[in-house]
Amino acid sequence: MSHAESGNGLSPGALGELRHDLRTPLNHVIGYAEMLLEDAADPTLAERRRPLEETLAAAREALGLINDSLNSTRGAGAREVLQLYDALRGPRTRIVQAASALLPAADDGADGTFTADVRKILAAAERLAAPTAAPPAPVASTPDQPTTAPPDGAGVRRARILVVDDGAENRDVLRRRLERSGHAVETAEHGRRALELLAARPFDLVLLDVMMPELDGFTVLEAIKGDPTLRDIPVIMISALDEMPSIVRCIERGAEDYLHKPFDPVLLRARINASLEKKRLRDQEVEYLREVARVTEAATAVEGGTYLPGALASVAQRADELGRLARVFDSMVSQMKAREERLRDRVQDLRREIEQARRVSKDPGPSLDGGNLKTGDRVAQRYEVLSVLGRGGMGTVYRARDLELGEEVAIKTLLPEFVSDTRLVERFKDEIRLARRLSDRHIVRTHDFGEWSGVYFLTMEYVEGITVRALLDTRGRLGVSSTLALATQLAQSLAVAHRHGVIHRDIKPQNLLLDAEGVLKVMDFGVARLAERSTSMTEAGLVVGTPAYMSPEQLMAEKVDARSDLYAAGVVMYECLTGEPPFQASSVMSLIAKLLMQEPRPPAALNPEIPPALSALVLQLLSKRPEHRVQTAAALVEQLAPLG
Which residues bind to other proteins, rule: CB under 8 A? 16, 20, 23-24, 26-28, 30-32, 34-35, 38, 63, 120, 124, 184, 200-201
* Coil vs helix vs strand at 613: helix
Of 246, 248, 250, 214, nearest to 235 (Cα)? 250
513 phi/psi in degrees, rounded to 5 = -105, 140
For residue 606, the minimal CB distance to other proteins (Å) is 47
Nearest-10 Cα torsion for 449, 454, 455, 458? 0
* Coil vs helix vs strand at 564: helix
DSSP string covering 229-253: TTTTS-EEEEE-GGGHHHHHHHHHT
For residue 66, the minimal CB distance to other proteins (Å) is 12
- How far apart (Å, rounded) are the C-alpha atoms in residues 411 and 400? 7
- How far apart (Å, rounded) are the C-alpha atoms in residues 620 and 573? 12
> Which of residues 39 and 152 has its CB atom nearest to other proteins in the complex?
39
- How far apart (Å, rounded) are the C-alpha atoms in residues 109 and 517? 81
532 near 503, Cβ under 8 Å? no
- How far apart (Å, rounded) are the C-alpha atoms in residues 398 and 412? 6
> Which of residues 20 and 362 has its CB atom nearest to other proteins in the complex?
20
> Which of residues 158 and 378 has its CB atom nearest to other proteins in the complex?
158
Of 541, 623, 540, 528, nearest to 574 (Cα)? 623
For residue 157, the minimal CB distance to other proteins (Å) is 15
Rounded to 5 degrees, what angle do the CA atoms 516, 518, 519 make? 105
580 near 603, Cβ under 8 Å? no
> Which of residues 27 and 598 has its CB atom nearest to other proteins in the complex?
27
Cis upstream peptide for 262 (omega within 30°): yes
User: How far is C-alpha 151 from the chain's CA centre?
Assistant: 45
> Which of residues 183 and 346 has its CB atom nearest to other proteins in the complex?
183
> Which of residues 35 and 110 has its CB atom nearest to other proteins in the complex?
35
> Which of residues 199 and 281 has its CB atom nearest to other proteins in the complex?
199
> Which of residues 82 and 197 has its CB atom nearest to other proteins in the complex?
197
Tell me the CA end-to-end span of the chain in Å, nearest whole number: 20
- How far apart (Å, rounded) are the C-alpha atoms in residues 124 and 118? 10
For residue 225, the minimal CB distance to other proteins (Å) is 24
- How far apart (Å, rounded) are the C-alpha atoms in residues 40 and 34? 10
DSSP string covering 132-178: TSPPPPPPP-BTTBPPPPPTT-TTPPP-EEEEE-S-HHHHHHHHHHH
For residue 41, the minimal CB distance to other proteins (Å) is 11
Of 89, 103, 96, nearest to 139 (Cα)? 96
For residue 189, the minimal CB distance to other proteins (Å) is 19
> Which of residues 75 and 217 has its CB atom nearest to other proteins in the complex?
75
For residue 63, the minimal CB distance to other proteins (Å) is 8
For residue 220, the minimal CB distance to other proteins (Å) is 22
- How far apart (Å, rounded) are the C-alpha atoms in residues 538 and 557? 10
> Which of residues 30 and 438 has its CB atom nearest to other proteins in the complex?
30
Task: Give bridge partners of residue 525 from the DSSP assignment.
Answer: none
* Coil vs helix vs strand at 379: strand
For residue 21, the minimal CB distance to other proteins (Å) is 11
> Which of residues 23 and 352 has its CB atom nearest to other proteins in the complex?
23
> Which of residues 137 and 200 has its CB atom nearest to other proteins in the complex?
200
For residue 116, the minimal CB distance to other proteins (Å) is 10
- How far apart (Å, rounded) are the C-alpha atoms in residues 442 and 569? 14
